[in-house]
């Protein structure tokens, strides 16, 4: 009968933080395994030394490398893959012989732990038992001591190995945070905290729960002295007083029994900006938009668009899903009503199937008369249809129409009626939102409707992710359009009867009609 594989969390360093279950399993183990760094004593073995039976077989799993530098032909990843292959083979010998193996894991085994790779390898071959342990960040929080998160605060755990801009973005978008994997990453982590406006209140904790433990503000840490066994705690509401205010702003307004007269402008309200970010490249962001984004305190929008705004000190970003436009607009209006400088962002041009209309809709809602007092200014951006048309040549150089195939805000019969009107008028047609994973039939029906009035040879331009690294542009015909290949990343331009394609592939529509 095969043995069992027990992975036991032994906590961050203090032997008294080892759980009773872990203590029992280690004390009864016939084989005890533990990881060790290059030319270093095993930290895990040292923590549990008093529990390891004298007659137990010990398997030291010593890393061949602990940084990204190695002469292994497969690089760092290849060296570690070979290492885990060797660990698996060594421990499997014991398990196949019927001996139980206890693997010591610092902190919690499945929280950034090396043991998880052996769990993955053994779970389908042997009985696997994982015993949770006290994670290092819990010990660090207790060391300070300071509450990490309260009430509705969101906690984010981040590896310091993330790219600095990404780390700064995520720090700005959360309440409480824990940053692991410091060591050589500390200078970039400190910079990210500063960019996110989270440096003040961030605490550095080294060797939590161990005799050598120390803690101090991150701003006071000598970056040359930071070991791997350290982390940063960024408390939630205590370090970010705006959290409570932000939560209050997100709460729905109370139901008003009688709608009062709309007030004149509230003198406390700040101007709300609605900004078009363009289709993607930074070069397509207007200087006006860039200057405005450098001044605001809050950016509100659909997550992929919010993520395009660089993080900086003093900026809070509020990302949400793709179908809550009016709620998002109300949230931004509430912030502006309190005097906060706010920008609502959209991809492309905010006025073309973007957030501008949603903001004005929310501001005109009689259930929230206070929003009417907020001044709103729309800053234009390069629209997606302009970008696709420019890549193709000049297909919208004459009269054209623009439509969205999404029927989320209008019934499909309305879309059909408008498609027929555009087709009969022989206008160039730009089509936004042609298809999604759950909405496939609309683009098929659109092709059929247009073919009732247009030749199958009518020029069609399909732009996908125009302006981004994965950009593609396809020139086809209405009859040859592959609707299965169309999704939300595409924008279509259906030519008029007189739209031309030159031998070099340039598409253009003459300004005159014969």
pLDDT in tens, the chain (514 residues): 899 999 999 999 999 999 999 999 999 999 999 999 888 889 999 999 999 999 999 999 998 886 667 788 878 888 889 999 999 999 999 999 999 999 999 999 999 888 999 999 999 999 999 999 999 999 999 988 878 888 888 899 999 999 888 888 888 878 899 999 898 899 999 998 988 878 888 999 999 998 888 999 999 999 888 988 899 999 885 434 433 333 334 333 333 333 333 345 566 789 999 999 999 888 999 999 999 999 999 999 988 899 889 888 888 888 877 778 999 999 999 999 999 999 999 999 999 999 999 999 999 999 999 999 999 999 999 999 999 999 999 999 999 999 999 988 899 999 999 999 999 999 999 999 999 877 889 999 999 999 999 999 999 999 999 988 889 999 999 999 999 999 989 999 999 999 999 999 999 999 998 7
Quote the pTM value. 0.62
What is the predicted pLDDT for the residue at 249? 40
One domain, residues 372 and 438: no
Neighbours of 356 (CB within 10 A): 23
- Enclosing H/E stretch for 412: helix 412-424
What is the predicted pLDDT for the residue at 134? 95
One domain, residues 415 and 465: yes
What is the predicted pLDDT for the residue at 318? 87
One domain, residues 13 and 129: yes
Instruction: Choose among 274, 317, 323: nearest CA to 436.
Output: 323
Domain end point (choices 108, 134, 160) = 134
In a domain, 251, yes or no: no
Specify whether the CB–CB gap between 275 and 359 falls below 8 A: no
One domain, residues 130 and 151: no
Helix, strand, coil % (nearest 5) of the chain?
35, 20, 45
Paired strand residues for 158: 179
Question: What CATH number corresponds to the domain at position 105?
Answer: 3.40.1010.10
One domain, residues 220 and 122: no
Instruction: Choose among 392, 332, 327, 322: nearest CA to 354.
Output: 322
DSSP 351: T
Instruction: Choose among 165, 174, 151: nearest CA to 316.
Output: 174
What is the predicted pLDDT for the residue at 162? 92
One domain, residues 288 and 229: no
DSSP 107: B
One domain, residues 114 and 147: no
Paired strand residues for 233: 178, 203
Containing structural domain, residue 491: 385-508
The dihedral over CA atoms of 362, 365, 371, 374, expressed in degrees to the nearest 10, equals 70
In a domain, 257, yes or no: no
In a domain, 122, yes or no: yes
d(CA 436, CA 442): 10
One domain, residues 213 and 328: no
Question: What CATH number corresponds to the domain at position 224?
Answer: 3.30.950.10
One domain, residues 288 and 374: yes
One domain, residues 161 and 73: no
In a domain, 513, yes or no: no
- CA 196 distance to own-chain centroid: 15
- Structurally, the chain folds into a number of domains equal to 4
Phi and psi based region of residue 417 (left: phi greater than 0; alpha: psi -120 to 50; beta: remaining): alpha
d(CA 204, CA 232): 5
One domain, residues 123 and 177: no
What is the predicted pLDDT for the residue at 68? 60
Neighbours of 327 (CB within 10 A): 15
End-to-end CA distance of the chain: 88
In a domain, 106, yes or no: yes
Three-class SS state of 275: strand
What is the predicted pLDDT for the residue at 237? 54
Instruction: Choose among 184, 45, 178: nearest CA to 106.
Output: 45
In a domain, 249, yes or no: no
* Distant-in-sequence, close-in-space partners of 262: CB < 8 Å, separation ≥ 6: 366, 369, 372, 373
SS3 for 89-113, per residue? HHHHHHHHCCCCEEEEECECCCCCC
d(CA 361, CA 289): 22
In a domain, 150, yes or no: yes
Domain end point (choices 206, 241, 276) = 241
Number of H helices, E strands in the chain: 15, 23
Domain end point (choices 382, 413, 437) = 382
d(CA 337, CA 349): 24
One domain, residues 487 and 432: yes
- Enclosing H/E stretch for 300: strand 298-302
In a domain, 435, yes or no: yes
d(CA 301, CA 332): 9
Instruction: Name the strands in the sheet holding 31-36, side by side, starting at the edge strand that comes first in the sequence.
Output: 57-62, 31-36, 101-105, 4-9, 127-131
């Amino acid at each position: 009968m095969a043995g069992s594989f027990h992975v036991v969390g032994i906590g961050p360093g203090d032997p008294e933080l080892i759980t009773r279950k872990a203590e029992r399993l280690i004390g009864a183990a016939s084989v005890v395994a533990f990881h060790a760094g290059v030319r270093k004593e095993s930290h895990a073995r040292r923590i549990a030394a008093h529990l390891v039976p004298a007659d137990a077989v010990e398997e030291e799993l010593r890393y061949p490398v602990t940084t990204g530098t190695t002469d292994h032909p497969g690089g760092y990843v290849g060296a570690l893959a070979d290492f885990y292959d060797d660990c698996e083979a060594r421990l499997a010998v014991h398990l196949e012989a019927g001996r139980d193996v206890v693997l010591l894991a610092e902190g919690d085994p499945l929280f950034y732990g090396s043991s998880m790779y052996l769990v993955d390898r053994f779970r389908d071959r042997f009985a696997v038992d994982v015993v949770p342990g006290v994670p290092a960040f819990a010990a660090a929080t207790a060391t300070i001591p300071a509450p990490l998160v309260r009430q509705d605060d969101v906690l984010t755990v981040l590896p310091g190995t993330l790219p600095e801009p990404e780390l700064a973005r995520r720090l700005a978008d959360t309440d409480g945070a824990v940053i692991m994997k410091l060591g050589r990453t500390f200078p970039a982590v400190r910079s990210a905290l500063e960019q996110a406006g989270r440096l003040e209140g961030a605490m550095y904790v080294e060797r939590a729960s161990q005799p050598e433990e120390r803690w101090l503000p991150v701003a006071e840490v000598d970056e040359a002295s930071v070991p791997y066994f350290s982390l940063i705690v960024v408390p939630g509401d205590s370090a970010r007083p705006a959290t409570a205010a932000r939560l209050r702003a997100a709460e729905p307004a109370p139901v008003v029994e009688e709608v009062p007269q709309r007030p004149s402008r509230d003198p406390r309200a700040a101007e709300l900006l609605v900004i078009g970010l363009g289709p993607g490249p930074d070069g397509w962001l207007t200087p006006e938009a860039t200057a405005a984004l450098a001044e605001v305190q809050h950016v509100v929008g659909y997550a992929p668009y919010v993520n395009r705004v660089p993080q900086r000190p003093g900026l809070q970003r509020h990302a949400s899903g793709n179908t809550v436009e009016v709620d998002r607009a109300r949230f931004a209006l509430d912030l502006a009503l309190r005097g906060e400088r706010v920008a609502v962002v959209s991809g492309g041009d905010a006025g073309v199937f973007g957030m501008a209309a949603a903001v004005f809709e929310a501001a005109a809602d009689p259930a929230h008369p206070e929003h009417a007092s907020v001044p709103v200014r729309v800053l234009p951006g390069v629209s997606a249809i302009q970008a696709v048309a420019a890549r193709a040549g000049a297909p919208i150089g004459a009269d054209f129409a623009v439509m969205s195939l999404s029927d989320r805000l209008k019934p499909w019969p309305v879309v059909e009626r408008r498609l027929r009107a555009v087709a009969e008028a022989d206008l160039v047609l730009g089509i936004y939102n042609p298809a999604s994973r759950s909405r496939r039939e609309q683009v098929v029906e659109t092709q059929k409707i247009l073919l009732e009035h247009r030749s199958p040879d009518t020029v069609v331009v399909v732009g996908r992710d125009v302006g981004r690294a994965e950009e593609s542009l396809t020139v086809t015909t209405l009859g040859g359009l592959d609707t299965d290949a169309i999704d939300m990343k595409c924008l279509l331009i259906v030519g008029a009867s007189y739209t031309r394609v030159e031998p070099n592939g340039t598409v253009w529509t003459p300004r005159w009609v014969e």
